[in-house]
Amino acid sequence: MKTLLSLFASVFLLGNVAFAQIKWSVDPAHTNARFEVKHLGIAFVDGQFKKLEGAVETKDANNFEAAVVNFDIDVNSIDTRVEARDTHLKSDDFFSAEKFPKMTLKNATLKSAGKGKFKLTGDLTIKDVTKKVTFDVVQNNGIITDPWGKTRAGFTATTSINRKEFNINYNDKLPSGVDAVAPTVAITVNVEVVKN
């Protein structure tokens, strides 16, 4: 009987090891979520969200294949370096930040797309709309141990979205018909994660 119990215990422990998840935290001091959108058809306005948090789970400590990513961004932390513009972007013309103070990326999964490259697909929620979005991701220089003994990895993720599909419907046009603010928004997220 003892032998049988020991066998079950061993199988249980091995099962736990096999399915253990390695947890990583997003380092907000070394992470940024940036955007860029065409203005008046002739130039680009860019900005960032300064407050964010996130977590990543991997199957082992050496590989991000099939990692699951979750991200929260504080909409009120938007910064385009012009206070009046930031206030306008928080209004109902754009993000309705008072009603929808957070953007999220949930249950996003990394799939290998070549050496050091991935596709990240997950549910992006902006305002009251959730849609599947895919990012192109590059892992920057593998996994390292920093000077303080912590394990870190860095990634750059890029995508484009149509803001109107997320109910950001500001629609001023020039007399020529050109959008004052283009529908297409380019997004770049630079992420540094630390193993817990």
* pTM score: 0.87
pLDDT at 20: 63
What residues are paired with 69 via a beta bridge? 56, 108
Strands 22-26 and 151-162: unpaired
CB neighbourhood size of 146 (10 A):
10
The single residue listed with the structure tokens 């000077």 is 147
What's the pLDDT at 13? 44
∠93-104-172 over CA atoms, to 5°? 20
Q: What is the pLDDT of residues 38-48, one digit of tens each?
A: 999 999 999 99
Closest by CA position to 54, among listed 72, 31, 66: 72
Q: How far apart are CA 194 and CA 172, in angstroms?
A: 43
**pLDDT at residue 2, as a whole number:** 55
pLDDT (mean) for 18-37: 90
Which pLDDT score, from 0 to 100, does residue 18 have? 47
Q: What is the rounded end-to-end Cα distance, in angstroms, of the chain?
A: 39
Residue 91: predicted pLDDT: 98
Is the Cα torsion angle 72, 77, 82, 87 positive or negative in sign? Answer: positive
DSSP 8-state assignment for residue 173: B
Gap between the Cα atoms of 149 and 166, Å rounded? 42
Interatomic CA distance for residues 39 and 144, integer angstroms: 40
- What is the reported pLDDT for 16? 44
Query: pLDDT digit string (tens) for 87-123?
Result: 999 999 999 999 999 999 999 999 999 999 999 999 9
pLDDT digits (tens, 9 = 90+) for 32-78: 999 999 999 999 999 999 999 999 999 999 999 999 999 999 999 99
Q: Show the domains of the chain with their CATH numbers.
A: 21-195 (2.40.128.110)
Give 158-190 pLDDT, tens digit per residue.
999 999 999 999 999 999 999 999 999 999 999
Residues 86 and 99: their CA atoms lie apart, in Å, by 16
